[in-house]
Amino acid sequence: MTVRTRVAPSPTGDPHVGTAYVALVNSCFAKKQGGCFVLRVEDTDRARSTRESEEAILESLHWLGLAWDEGPDIGGPHGPYRQSERSASYREHAAQLLAEGHAFKCFCTPERLEEMRVAQRAAHQPPHYDGHCLHLTPREIAEKEAAGIPSVVRLKVPSEGSCIFDDLLRGRIEIEWKTVDMQVLMKSDGFPTYHLANVVDDHAMEITHVIRGEEWISSTPKHLLLYRSFGWTPPAFCHLPLLRNPDRSKLSKRKNPTSILYYRKQGYPAEALLHFLGTLIDARNDDQGLIGRGSSTRERTALLLEHFGEQFELTHISVGGPVFDIPKLRWLCGQWIRRQTPAQFLQLLHEWGYEWPRAIAPEKREHVARVAMERIELLSDFAPLVEFLAEPPDLARQDMALQNLPEEDVRGALESAIENLIPLVGDSWNQAAIGEALKKSAGDAGFKLKDVVRFFYVAVTGKPTSLPLFDGMEILGKEESLRRFELAVEKLH
RNA sequence: GGCGCCAUCGUCUAUCGGUUAGGACAUCGCCCUUUCAAGGCGGAAAGACGGGUUCGAUUCCCGUUGGCGCUACCA
């Protein structure tokens, strides 16, 4: 039997990094076993599901280089891959459960259920469906339906014994049936809940390994009960740890950016995010040798995925929920950026959507890239670093008030710089010569370059820290550089 | 509260009974140096607690504590 795994996102919000993490594991497992990886959209929550969200999720996973063998966008032999398009199947299966006595119709109002829960809570009982509609006669059911009272279908759960199953990561798990609620399977709007749809589809799509988040462990008995009721062989189950916020709670957007869209927009390269996710599923992927391979983002993510797939071992996933450590992710981003050639980096910037200021001539951009890529982590760090090349700084006198150096000394150094820079004409206006000239200027003014260079930075870039100054000035050109020195001198008069 | 899962440096982790408990991020220091970075070198930093089992436990078992998850006509 060929291995088939799936990821089943619910399109109810922004694409979550946790979805990518689960998708990655499923994809790697399938790849390692020579199986298929399926993407199925679980849009049974009519109120919250949107098509935009679905598109964003697929797009984001693709951005990370993830690909599936079957899915709503590419079809496949087990389609449709969108649960909202499989309603008939759920209705039939619910009817079958009803007919065979594995489920029952429930006419309880939300108000009654709420009162029931409040009472149970007050009595320190776990909230549980109380079986109110469990023993309605066919006649009572018919009457209520004739009266137009809305109903749901609930799962019948054994009252004794326990459900025992094997988790691929955690081994034997035992949960007593009395702690399992009589879950709703079909909502009154005619749509299935996760539990029914998930089981029916996993069976229909011949999923062999259900690899999903840890939050599903306590629901697994319900799913197993459904497989048993239908007479189906259940798949193997594997519950992955949940990604955490730094405070260790489940990763949530209240406390952390969780949207892949966010990371993309901020300029986290896809290959770096993918690599980071890879380190979370197997520590052996925390290998700097993996950084930088490939000449385009597409090729880089493909190589990474190939490596992850080959190396993949379920047992290397540790079961403690890992903190989604943004500082480490950022470092990895910087690493990926730095391992590119300047030309590749330019391409990365372009793909990200960076638009060059017109003032920076195309032939100078590779030089800019070369010196800028050494000092950024995210692509969004690039623009602020190079904006001085397009816009003259708006200097204020106090910007020059650094290091308690008297203004006249600063002015002297700046004037000396101008004097030494003027002779540099034509090709002599280059990084090395500029450096020599500025060193001499500092000396002429009675300082070491080190002591006054910060003022030069402020004069040219408007900030005490920026790109390497000599390169910056070479790129800026002689005329504009001198103009900025002169402007700075004026400020000090 | 009930049920379940989990537990090594601040973080991600290695160790599959015997190690000076290793690496990476972050942090600190030094070097390099045109500021800031990057890079190089080095430092500090961990087995939650209590019982067992064993010649020997971070490793196996039990308990405690702690964290997390579930406890919906959301997934």
Who wins on pLDDT, A398 or A339? A339
Residue A410's pLDDT band, with cuts at 50, 70 and 90, is confident
Q: Is the CB of A323 under 7 A from strand B?
A: yes
The ipTM of this complex is: 0.96
Q: What is the pLDDT of residue A491?
A: 79
Q: What is the pLDDT of residue A398?
A: 73
Q: Which helix (H) or strand (E) holds A469?
A: helix A469-476
* Token representation of residue A451: 């002591």
pTM of the model: 0.95
pLDDT tens sequence across A348-391: 999 999 999 999 999 999 999 999 999 999 999 999 999 999 98
Q: What is the mean pLDDT of residues A257-273?
A: 97
Q: Is the CB of A467 under 7 A from strand B?
A: yes
Q: What is the mean pLDDT of residues A310-326?
A: 93
For strand B, the positions having any atom within 7 A of a protein Cβ are 1-8, 10-14, 22-26, 34-39, 67-75
Q: What is the mean pLDDT of residues A57-61?
A: 98
* Token representation of residue A303: 């190589």
Q: What is the mean pLDDT of residues A19-26?
A: 97
Residue A466: other Cβ atoms inside 10 A: 22
From the alpha carbon of A434, which nucleotide's C1' atom is closest? B34
- Cα separations in angstroms, A120 against A77, A107, A115, A126, A489: 47, 20, 9, 6, 79
Q: Is the CB of A170 under 7 A from strand B?
A: yes
Distance from residue A74's CA to nucleotide B19's C1', rounded to whole Å: 52
Residue A5's pLDDT band, with cuts at 50, 70 and 90, is very high
Residue A444's pLDDT band, with cuts at 50, 70 and 90, is confident
Distance from residue A291's CA to nucleotide B19's C1', rounded to whole Å: 30
Q: Which domains does chain A have, with CATH numbers?
A: 86-240 (3.40.50.620), 397-491 (1.10.10.350)
Residues 185-214 of chain A sitting with CB below 7 angstroms of strand B = 187-189, 191, 193-194, 214
From the alpha carbon of A468, which nucleotide's C1' atom is closest? B34
- Least confident range from A22-31, A37-46, A83-92, A133-142: namely A133-142
Helices assigned H by DSSP within A234-285:
260-265, 270-281
Q: What is the mean pLDDT of residues A93-99?
A: 96
Q: What is the mean pLDDT of residues A410-423?
A: 91
Cis check: omega of the bond before A257, within 30 degrees of 0:
no
Full DSSP string of A380-393? GGHHHHHGGGTS--
Q: How far is CA A149 from the centre of its chain?
A: 44
- The CA distance from A471 to A433, in Å, is 10
Residue A178's pLDDT band, with cuts at 50, 70 and 90, is very high
Phi-psi group of A248: left, alpha or beta (phi > 0 → left; psi -120 to 50 → alpha; rest → beta): left
Q: What is the pLDDT of residue A403?
A: 66
* Token representation of residue A378: 């995210």
Cis check: omega of the bond before A80, within 30 degrees of 0:
yes
* Token representation of residue A33: 């076993």
CB contact at 8 A, A471 and A367: yes
Tell me the one-letter amino acid at A78.
Answer: H
- Least confident range from A44-53, A126-135, A167-176, A221-230: namely A126-135
* Token representation of residue A133: 């509609």
Residues 100-129 of chain A sitting with CB below 7 angstroms of strand B = 108-110, 113, 117, 124, 126-129
What is the share, in percent, of chain A residues with pLDDT greater than 90?
A: 84
Mean pLDDT taken over chain A: 94
Q: What is the mean pLDDT of residues A415-434?
A: 92
